[in-house]
Structure 1
Amino acid sequence: MKKFYITFIALITVSILSYAQNAEGIDGKTKGFTKQAGYFNTYWDDKTGRLLLEINKLNQEFLYVESMPAGVGSNDLGLDRGQLGDTKIVKFVKSGPKILLIQPNYDYRAVSNNADERRSVEEAFAQSVIWGFKAEAIDGDRILIDMTPFLMRDSHQLSASLARSGQGAYRADESRSAIYMGNTKSFPYNTEMEATITLAGSASGREIGTVTPDASFVTVRMHHSFIQLPDAQYKPRAFDPRSGFFSTDYMDFATAIDQPIVKRLINRHRLEKKDPGAAISEAVKPIIYYVDRGAPEPVRSALLEGAAWWNQAFEAAGYKNAFQVKLLPEDADPMDIRYNIIQWVHRSSRGWSYGSSVTDPRTGEIIKGQVSLGSLRDRQDFLIAEGLVQPYVDGKPVSDKMLKLAVARLRQLAAHEVGHTLGLYHNYVASTNKRASVMDYPPPTVSVKADGTIDLSDAYTAEIGSWDKRAIIYGYADLTQSKDDGQALKAIIAETLKQGEIFIADADSRPAGSAHPKAHLWDSGTDAADELNRLMVLRKQVINNFSENAIRQDAPMATIEEVLVPAYLIHRYQVEAASKVLGGLYYTYAIKNDGQQVTRMVPAAQQWKAFDALMKTITPDALALPEALIAKIPPRPVGYPRTRELFKSRTGLTFDPIGAAESAASTTLSFMLQPQRAARLVEYHARNAALPSLEQVLDKMIAQTWKVTPTADYKGELQRMVNNQMLKQLLGLAASTQAPESVRSIALLKIDELKSLMQIQQRGTNSLQRANALFCLSQIKQFEDNPDKFQLTQPLVMPDGSPIGMGDETECPAR
């Protein structure tokens, strides 16, 4: 009985305390706390380290964005300062003492005035409860909740990212985490909250150890933005696959049965003319981007200038000063939603830059642009120029060409990434149309003057492109004077096509087996084969003249290799571009009756020209380095370890010129004999006998490799290496499950023919040729004995490509 009374009294006491706590109200509960008034009021309790949030907007939707203002610093791990997470529409919903943060499902909607119709869709698809809170105090329609647990979690999913990349098992450690009040602020239209988060764990990967003082504890900052939704005055604009814009897509179940149920809207900033009837007008509210104050000169000026190129496109769309770029004010907070930001991001290794956006999932309206530019970008371009210019001649002043090239690239890079935050995709066909878009990936345009010197004066464009102007006209032209927006947009596209502007995006350009002969990354010139031939002539001159003049006076001689890599491989991206001509297909994102040619197979003459250009890149003359240059590259000294930026080696510590050649030759051969490309050669020849067949291509490749007698010197070793790489690619093609049987059978036939040739060579008098034939026959036998389990020795790969030299972004991601 006594136990019962004790329990009863305890329950009464708890109830009284709970009532007193609630009766205390929000003002009493937060007495002595630091209050920040804004979109949501916040209260900081310095004694307990808690951050409380006042809700006065129950059942009202707003935007939630999580981001990472202080990152890990590794391009490989992809966890950068300023990285944005997903943009979600959420709302607080009360259920008894619980407050739920709910994310409605905007992928499925009923855009209708009928409430029952809307409800039927809402109830058909799952929603997500992001978090659950307990009310700390309630004052009428004001509710106080504790945000601390919500903010102290691994909201950016770093643990999962580190685990996927093999860096170890981590979890958020609350004892080593805390609210970061430096970036916890509330503004009229957004509330910003931040926490210092420490992930504790056991490191198992190399990369995490290179960017943390103690890899057992990875400390970053994670940010949370609650943002007021834009008003209903924004007018969404229809997506067109020819326009070059990203899209926001959803299913509208209120759509009439004779209309498409999937709705597509382009992503763009809100922009309106002050005077819609004027041909040129100022904007009601211009789009302004702000450059990170942490960017040093001359980087800062280059970013300001390059990003501002977009005003040229907005002028073409009928605006005056509608796009502006300024230095971020000293008292401005870059997390404030009012600021579109261009930030300068540091990493331990060079890496991608990218443009992201906070976008309203309902309409596609871009609310904030966030550009992140890798700070090692300019140094890589400087390195490229050092190899081309060879500027460090004893007794002579150092040329400023390297700095000019690096700064010119930064201008183009700033324009490119800002373009993504304006809503634009990459346009990888633009480089073949007089560099028509900054949204392509540009290689430096390098030429040779009449006196034999390298000319970098036109390395990169200095203005916005013709395609970019047409894209901005589609996305931002003021249509308020138009009687029919749909017809007005069709007219804009029709004029774009009339001007010869074409758009081809990532999915048709990045894959190694892609088919469009003009859509590629880092290529140049109107004809891929012609440009490859031109680059090979330039490359030969650069390599023949390469010397210690490529490195500074106090640099170890071994560092010549660092500058040699991008010079020796200056053709690497053009090789990939030219390979797409083989079995290539011209095509457009044609719309019914828009007048565009839908598809056209690449003519035979163009394919064979590309074939010849590609084969020239793997001749011993093309692959060989001058003996005088090889002799100047010693093993790496203490303090200068080998890195992934250097050629791979099969000779231990010494520089391996045959290994360097192997990486280049095997890359060319792998592109030429890519399974999907081989399948198209078979198909297109079957449909048009005038086009090259796979068998014809392989016969020519064998004639120019295995049927060439190697010389008894360095170039002979290069020839044997190329022959062996050719055999490996053939064996790989025959074993490929990606290739159709028609391709695999032809590959087997050619392997059998090569086998007969090798048997003849095995009986010859040249011991090196006999030895090589014997080894290759053993490889073929291994394949024949167990083709399903056959494993070839992998060729040496090139030093890291994108973003090496001419690269800077990720797969795009670039939104």
Structure 2
Amino acid sequence: MRHWITKLAICALFLYSLLLTPKYVEADQLSNPYVQQLDVLPVVETLASAGNNYGEIRKEDFWRFREIAKVANKLEGLFTLYSDDDLGTIYLALKPEQLNKNYLATVTMESGIGESGIYSGLPLADFLFYFQRVNNNLHFVARNVKFRTESSEPEQRSLARSFSDSVLYSLAIDSIDPRSQNILINLDDLLMQDFAGLTPLLKYSLQADYHLETSKSYFGDRQSFPKNVEIDAIYGFSSPEGADLITLPDSRALTLKVHYSFSQLPENNDYIPRLADDRVGYFITAFQDFSDNNVQEPFVRYINRWHLEPLDPNAPLSPPKKPIVFWIENAVPLLYRDAIREGVLMWNKAFAKAGFQNAIEVRQMPDDADWQPADVRYNTIRWFNSLDAGFARGPTRVNPFTGEILDADIIVDASMVRSIQQEYQALMSANSSLSKNPCQQQNARVVSSAELCYGVESSNQAAMGALALSLLRNTTPNSAAMKEYVHQYLRSLIAHEVGHTLGLRHNFHGSTMLAPQELNQTEITHTKGLAGSVMDYLPVNIAPQGVEQGDYFPSVVGPYDEWAIEYGYKISPSQALKPIIPEAEKSFLQQIALASPQPELSYATDEDIWDINPLANVWDMSSDVLLYSQWQMDNARVMWQRLDKHYLSPGESYSNLRVLFNKVLNYYFRNATLLSKYIGGQSFQRLHASDDIAWAFVPVSLFKQRQALAKLQEYVFAEDAFSFSPQLLNQLAPSRWQHWGSPISNNRLDYPIHDRILKFQSKVLRSLLDSDRLNHLQDIELKTLPGEALPIPELFDTLQKGIWTEVLTPEEPQPISSIRRSLQREHLNILLEIVLGTTDAPEDGHTLAWYELRQLQKAIDIKLKQFGEQLDIYTLAHLEFTGDRITKALNAQLVSH
């Protein structure tokens, strides 16, 4: 009895104290053990009322949190989730100690529409965030990690004032647990407000206004684990007009699933950030350090890499404490799983050089797996289908403070392999409604970046190799040889993408390691590699005529790959010292990087290939591209001959022949285009002052440049460069299927052979006389000894003599063919543009173009006087019109000056 009297007395005193207080109850009062023991919460809830200051608890909070916790399904983990299945609502509970703490948000498009850049598996965003309580709201804030300083430095006080974080959402606090003070928010307020940014993405990619329909949107699967929370959201979008889409039954409405991962950053895991070196190609995490007074280099750059530690630090070769594990998604066809597995494990050879045994493992995702591929706990190789993607991608999620890779998922479009097996699949033309390939869109938000993808050309290269097997070696699509070819291609493709997930950037210098004669010697390619790096964009290696075929694609990683992995993952001796800072590894890393001048370790990445270096190219092969490209163009000519000899099977549509002809023509054009980079070219290496090689730039030799010009004349500009039989040209029929996914083009019905050839010739010719190239040639004359540079006059004169041979040679008159007339008119157009000042060519370019036009005009006048009556009307009209244009242009120039 005395016990109950005591309880009632305490309760009365407590209630009396509440009556004397203002309209609210402080949270620390409710944590009183005596109050909790008395179970007076219902009375407190009745008397307490709302307040507006931080730390106050509104009276409705008491009931609200407890009622939700009673009826909702509770999932405990990093954040506790309460799911109200009747209302379709998810609540997230946040502990007080989780406020202002950094977490990683990862957003993945789990389902797409299969065209126009909206594909399943694509990463949408990943960034650092924290929750901040402001009055009765919870702010969702993206952390600014670009600027840092030591926490003990005075500059720390100014950074927060100088550089803002980004408050993305302000969320109303739904309720607060009066005992634990946990904060409850409704995830509708966060994730059902187009958190993923899909509305602007759809507008950009589909060129239509789609709006999020909340009535059609809902949450899917959700899971909470100790270190991460995984949530699916399904979004319904609508557009009154819809977009020009093929894959949807009705483009006015579409549904997308997005997977969200909110995860905890690793803490106190002994990971040591590793300093970057521009001679070794890694993706980097960079920030500006205001605590460093070195104004010459304000940035700190860490490479992105996995946290890999040896199980036995004293052993020269040790298994890792925790291997890098890749899971093959259960959606991958059984036929391709072995090739994918081999492509991943190719990298263990490189890790062995760095001291790790079996650093990478491959596992198969079970058919009944209870986890999703986008779960941040799993690195997954995913398979998706599309109408127009044709790419693979290997993105990573990284700790933005340290560069530690936390998660990686590789996505592969099934059409990359399908295009090989479907031998007659048409290439996408430039004006096709399906040619919205994301890898070709320079500003595409989702899929364009330095790490991006092989893109359409990889599929084209693979399909070209399969066609070569058929045309040159009589291989059938279902033969063992073709299956082995597909296996090699997919293995190489996966190895490339896995390299990205290990932190490596592209190396477009890797293809130049072997001499052309070594490319098909398997005793070399199976040990040293087909290329210096699988991180290059490598073409299919088709052996020249009379040479036994070797590997079509790499079967092992190259020397550069091994060296780069050594730089990124080899354990430095200083790691035995604790604590260790990144700067302590500097001398160790510099010793590794000193090997960079070795030819097989040459490195050039995305920002290096669009300028002057003929050795830094995509889709080239060997140390002598001039010879290799000639081989491939010769192969193309043989394939055209085979197509001309009744290649199609009985009953097969002639439209298939048109597709094959286009494939070979494009392959021929691409290899010929590689030659032009030698003119005015300079090799470039990322050298440091301590490296053995003295020059960063080395101009291409005069011999090589003259050789390239001669090959271009022979394979691009010569009279007999393109010679096709009437029979072949008259069999190039277009497809006449008219339905979704197979539109009939509005272009010409017959094959536009003149147009195709002229466009190619024009591209090469305009490239050779481009103002940038002329400026390079002029500068190189100052960078070389006399007689070692290709003079601009020689370039102009060589092209003019090769293109106007019928006019400039004193032989008997001969008709100028239609293809040659088109080429000559284009050459004339270019010279006139230079003379009339419509380009940025150097002044010497203007005067030399004027000189060449004068020489041409004189030669035309002589030819017309000598043989005018003997010329056919095509040739006569062509020459008279050309002479008239030159006269008028030169007179106009004289008047303007």
Same fold (TM over 0.5): yes
2:189 to 149, 156, 174: 149
Give the equivalent residue in structure 1 for 2:484.
Answer: 404
Give the equivalent residue in structure 2 for 1:245.
Answer: 282
Give the equivalent residue in structure 1 for 2:176.
Answer: 138
Partner amino acid for 1:213?
A: P
User: What secondary structure does 1:298 align onto?
Assistant: helix
Give the equivalent residue in structure 2 for 1:433.
Answer: 513
Partner amino acid for 1:594?
A: D
The answer to whether the aligner puts 1:368 opposite 2:407 as a matched pair is: yes
Mapping of residues 338-357 of structure 1, within 5 Å: 338-357=377-396
User: What secondary structure does 2:129 align onto?
Assistant: strand
Give the equivalent residue in structure 1 for 2:264.
Answer: 228
> For each residue in 1:591-637, what CA deviation from the matched residue of structure 2 results, as whole angstroms up to 9, or x when unmatched?
12222332211111111111112222212422222333223223433
Give the equivalent residue in structure 2 for 1:726.
Answer: 827
The answer to whether the aligner puts 1:627 opposite 2:665 as a matched pair is: no
User: What secondary structure does 2:407 align onto?
Assistant: strand
Give the equivalent residue in structure 2 for 1:803.
Answer: none
User: What secondary structure does 1:569 align onto?
Assistant: helix
Q: Which is further off, 188-197 or 705-714?
A: 705-714
Give the equivalent residue in structure 2 for 1:696.
Answer: 794
> For each residue in 1:193-251, what CA deviation from the matched residue of structure 2 results, as whole angstroms up to 9, or x when unmatched?
22222332255753xx1232222223212232211011232100000001111111100
CA 1:112–1:136 in 2, change beyond 3 Å: closer, same or farther? Answer: closer
Residue 334 of structure 1: how far off its partner (Å): 1.2
Mapped contact 2:595–2:601 kept (Cα < 8 A): no
CA 1:498–1:532 in 2, change beyond 3 Å: closer, same or farther? Answer: closer
Partner amino acid for 2:872?
A: N
Query: What is the distance in 2 between the residues matched to 1:654 and 1:150?
Result: 56
CA 1:293–1:670 in 2, change beyond 3 Å: closer, same or farther? Answer: farther
Mapped contact 1:246–1:424 kept (Cα < 8 A): yes
CA 1:762–1:173 in 2, change beyond 3 Å: closer, same or farther? Answer: farther
Residue 778 of structure 1: how far off its partner (Å): 7.8
Mapping of residues 38-437 of structure 1, within 5 Å: 38-56=77-95, 57-74=98-115, 77-114=116-153, 116-139=154-177, 140-165=180-205, 167-179=207-219, 181-182=220-221, 184-203=222-241, 206=244, 209-232=245-268, 233-257=270-294, 260-330=297-367, 331=369, 332-382=371-421, 383-390=463-470, 399-434=479-514, 435-437=531-533
Query: What is the distance in 2 between the residues matched to 1:677 and 1:190?
Result: 54
Mapped contact 1:761–1:769 kept (Cα < 8 A): no
Mapped contact 1:388–1:567 kept (Cα < 8 A): no
Residue 329 of structure 1: how far off its partner (Å): 3.1
Mapped contact 2:394–2:500 kept (Cα < 8 A): yes
Mapped contact 1:167–1:203 kept (Cα < 8 A): no
Query: What is the distance in 1 between the residues matched to 2:476 and 2:509?
Result: 42
Q: Which is further off, 308-317 or 738-747?
A: 738-747
Partner amino acid for 2:796?
A: L
CA 1:20–1:714 in 2, change beyond 3 Å: closer, same or farther? Answer: farther
Query: What is the distance in 2 between the residues matched to 1:670 and 1:118?
Result: 55
CA 1:100–1:567 in 2, change beyond 3 Å: closer, same or farther? Answer: same
User: What secondary structure does 1:368 align onto?
Assistant: strand
Query: What is the distance in 2 between the residues matched to 1:660 and 1:415?
Result: 36
Mapped contact 2:279–2:596 kept (Cα < 8 A): no
Partner amino acid for 1:298?
A: L
Give the equivalent residue in structure 2 for 1:508.
Answer: 608
Query: What is the distance in 1 between the residues matched to 2:500 and 2:169?
Result: 32
Across the aligned residues of Structure 1 and Structure 2, the Cα RMSD in angstroms comes to 3.3
Q: Percent identity of the aligned residues?
A: 25
Partner amino acid for 1:629?
A: L
Mapped contact 2:512–2:624 kept (Cα < 8 A): yes
1:531 to 617, 628, 649: 628
Query: What is the distance in 1 between the residues matched to 2:362 and 2:864?
Result: 69
> For each residue in 1:558-597, what CA deviation from the matched residue of structure 2 results, as whole angstroms up to 9, or x when unmatched?
1111122222222333333322211111221111222233
Query: What is the distance in 1 between the residues matched to 2:819 and 2:358?
Result: 58
Query: What is the distance in 1 between the residues matched to 2:656 and 2:823?
Result: 27
Query: What is the distance in 1 between the residues matched to 2:740 and 2:887?
Result: 40
> 5+ residue gaps in structure 2?
1-45, 52-56, 422-462, 515-530, 578-583
Q: Which is further off, 189-198 or 637-646?
A: 637-646
Q: Which is further off, 749-758 or 93-102?
A: 749-758
CA 1:171–1:774 in 2, change beyond 3 Å: closer, same or farther? Answer: farther
> 5+ residue gaps in structure 1?
1-11, 788-815
Q: Which is further off, 423-432 or 611-620?
A: 611-620
> For each residue in 1:404-461, what CA deviation from the matched residue of structure 2 results, as whole angstroms up to 9, or x when unmatched?
22221111000001111111111001101131110001111111453xxx86542111
> For each residue in 1:253-291, what CA deviation from the matched residue of structure 2 results, as whole angstroms up to 9, or x when unmatched?
011347732101001111010111110001010011112
Partner amino acid for 2:623?
A: T
Give the equivalent residue in structure 2 for 1:769.
Answer: 875
Across the two proteins, how many residue pairs are aligned to each other?
760
Mapped contact 1:234–1:270 kept (Cα < 8 A): yes
The answer to whether the aligner puts 1:684 opposite 2:780 as a matched pair is: yes
Give the equivalent residue in structure 2 for 1:811.
Answer: none
2:539 to 431, 435, 443: 443
Query: What is the distance in 1 between the residues matched to 2:472 and 2:738?
Result: 23
Give the equivalent residue in structure 1 for 2:715.
Answer: 617
CA 1:88–1:645 in 2, change beyond 3 Å: closer, same or farther? Answer: farther
Query: What is the distance in 2 between the residues matched to 1:745 and 1:205?
Result: 52
> For each residue in 1:326-372, what CA deviation from the matched residue of structure 2 results, as whole angstroms up to 9, or x when unmatched?
22233132122121111122110242222111111111111011212
CA 1:724–1:640 in 2, change beyond 3 Å: closer, same or farther? Answer: farther
CA 1:674–1:157 in 2, change beyond 3 Å: closer, same or farther? Answer: farther
Mapped contact 2:331–2:383 kept (Cα < 8 A): yes
1:669 to 761, 765, 776: 765
Mapped contact 2:132–2:141 kept (Cα < 8 A): yes
Query: What is the distance in 2 between the residues matched to 1:352 and 1:49?
Result: 36
Mapping of residues 732-811 of structure 1, within 5 Å: 737-751=839-853, 753-754=855-856, 764=868, 765-773=871-879
> For each residue in 1:277-333, what CA deviation from the matched residue of structure 2 results, as whole angstroms up to 9, or x when unmatched?
110001010011112221213222211111210111111111111111222233132
Residue 190 of structure 1: how far off its partner (Å): 1.1
CA 1:694–1:172 in 2, change beyond 3 Å: closer, same or farther? Answer: farther
Q: Which is further off, 118-127 or 437-446?
A: 118-127
Residue 557 of structure 1: how far off its partner (Å): 1.5
User: What secondary structure does 1:210 align onto?
Assistant: coil
Residue 684 of structure 1: how far off its partner (Å): 1.5
The answer to whether the aligner puts 1:599 opposite 2:635 as a matched pair is: no
Query: What is the distance in 1 between the residues matched to 2:553 and 2:560?
Result: 16
CA 1:733–1:306 in 2, change beyond 3 Å: closer, same or farther? Answer: farther
Give the equivalent residue in structure 2 for 1:654.
Answer: 750
User: What secondary structure does 2:555 align onto?
Assistant: coil
Mapped contact 1:108–1:252 kept (Cα < 8 A): yes
User: What secondary structure does 2:804 align onto?
Assistant: coil
Mapped contact 2:351–2:359 kept (Cα < 8 A): yes
The answer to whether the aligner puts 1:490 opposite 2:590 as a matched pair is: yes
Partner amino acid for 1:612?
A: A
Mapped contact 2:228–2:263 kept (Cα < 8 A): yes
Query: What is the distance in 1 between the residues matched to 2:889 and 2:419?
Result: 42
CA 1:351–1:708 in 2, change beyond 3 Å: closer, same or farther? Answer: farther
Query: What is the distance in 2 between the residues matched to 1:393 and 1:490?
Result: 49
Mapped contact 1:761–1:770 kept (Cα < 8 A): no
> For each residue in 1:15-57, what CA deviation from the matched residue of structure 2 results, as whole angstroms up to 9, or x when unmatched?
6899453012534224322222221122222232222111121
User: What secondary structure does 1:99 align onto?
Assistant: strand
Mapped contact 1:386–1:551 kept (Cα < 8 A): no
Residue 738 of structure 1: how far off its partner (Å): 4.9
Give the equivalent residue in structure 2 for 1:813.
Answer: none
Partner amino acid for 2:91?
A: L
